Amino acid sequence: MSNGTLQNGPVVPGKAFDRFIQIWFENTDFAVANSSSVFQQLATQGILLNNFVAVTHPSEPNYAAVVGGDFWGMGDDNLHYIPSNMSTIVDLLDTKNISWGSYQESMPYDGYQLYNYTEPNYLNQSAPPYTYYVRKHNPLVLYDSVANVPARNMRNRNFNDFAVDVSNNTLPQWMFITPNLVNDGHDTNVDFIGNFINYWLIPLLSNPNFNTNRTLILITFDENDTYTDRNQIWSLLMGGIVPASAYGTVDNTFYSHYSCLSSVEANWELGSLGRQDTNKTMSNVFDLLISQYGLNYTNLDVTNPPATNLTGNIPGPLNAQYWVPFVAPNTAAVGAGGGPVFVGAGTDMSLTAANAPAPVNLTALGETLPDSTPASSVQTTMPTATGTTTSGAPSLRVAGAGVLALAAGALLLL
């Protein structure tokens, strides 16, 4: 179904680009993507980022990280709800009235919040229904600060509405695009991705309603496929702002998914999230913005990058084996945009990374993560904070509202 076209405010000019489009594919090693004739052809129209890494494994934490500046210790693809006072790029964009939107292929309708969606198999009509859409690949819906605000949540749109917005020239300035599970390569392979690119993306590149002379497009992957490798992912900058003289070139700067945040912050002189988007090692700004557009920022020469192929052993509020509560952002941090750190309403500023308690093994204590449900518990109606279900919207979850006490090795949530 279509929900009509987006309504956006006036275009807010950036230093290098006025529109940023991220298109994510799935679970492919750099060498595999780089050997594809389709990806090789794409590379002749842009700048190959030869030293770009995902930030962890598996998929979902990478999606959470690219909009929220952290993956919160998550080491699985379960159903998670990130509390409403944990901020995202949306909060930063909204401070300057920069329009944004997410487009999710095969999501049944705009604002859909359930764990997945199964529909008739359009590839094989004699086969059983197929799950083409999964919530874990929709980064903004993971955050209650978006999902629980109807006006924001309805900007999580499907591909029918993408077509409407392209036709009406109402695409937003910041976009995150996720193809479905076959077109993103999750359930298929790089050749299937290549067919999708040829069919869907290539025509759009010459459509001025999509790719203007002030557009930057990032083609990338959520993670690599070989977990023992360093998690290098094939990534390409293309679009109208890339000069023809840079076509087919290679940028060896060390980047990660957090660079998508810092580059946007720098382009529009935004504030920051006070998370990994301000970690100088992990958030180098795309050099194109510095070398071609004079952006006043100095990247860090990362000669010994940290490991980013770890899974499940990073403490955080979404890790049941190494649980720590959500903590306040680092308000002393300075991001690439130079603005202040955004602090969500209701954040307990007294609970910081510096004074957070030691990690607790909730699994050993027989406890479950607050605000999370195992992936096997596929929801047919919206879950509430207590785990019961309702046909309405989920209740608002705010981290730091309770008191954490650790006594005699037991965890008490009061």
Residue numbers annotated as active site: 187
DSSP states of 344-396 as a string? Answer: -TT--TT--TTTPPPPB-TTTTT---TTEE-TTS--SSEE-TTS-EESSPPPP
Distance in angstroms (rounded) separating the CA atoms of residues 69 and 256 = 11
- Strand 249-251 with 79-80, pairing: unpaired
Q: How many CB atoms are located within 10 Å of the residue 387 CB?
A: 11
CA pseudo-torsion sign 383, 388, 392, 394: negative
Q: Residue 280 is encoded by which pair of tokens? A: 């100088």
Note whether 146 and 104 are within 8 A (CB): no
DSSP states of 236-261 as a string? Answer: EEESTTS-GGGTTEEE---EETHHHH
Distance in angstroms (rounded) separating the CA atoms of residues 362 and 364 = 5
Distance in angstroms (rounded) separating the CA atoms of residues 157 and 164 = 11
Exposure string over 188-200, b if 16+ CB within 10 A, otherwise e: bebebbbebbeeb
Distance in angstroms (rounded) separating the CA atoms of residues 29 and 52 = 12
Residue 189 is which amino acid? N
How is residue 153 annotated by DSSP? H
Q: What are phi and psi for residue 221, nearest 5 degrees?
A: -125, 155
What is the maximal distance between C-alpha atoms in the chain? 65
Identify any residues that bridge with 250 across adjacent strands, giving them in sequence order: 48
Element (H, E) at 101: strand 100-104
Distance in angstroms (rounded) separating the CA atoms of residues 373 and 370 = 9
User: CA 253: distance to chain centroid?
Assistant: 21
Note whether 31 and 221 are within 8 A (CB): no
- On the question of a cis peptide bond just before residue 150, with omega within 30 degrees of 0, the verdict is no
Distance in angstroms (rounded) separating the CA atoms of residues 79 and 299 = 36
Q: How many CB atoms are located within 10 Å of the residue 320 CB?
A: 20
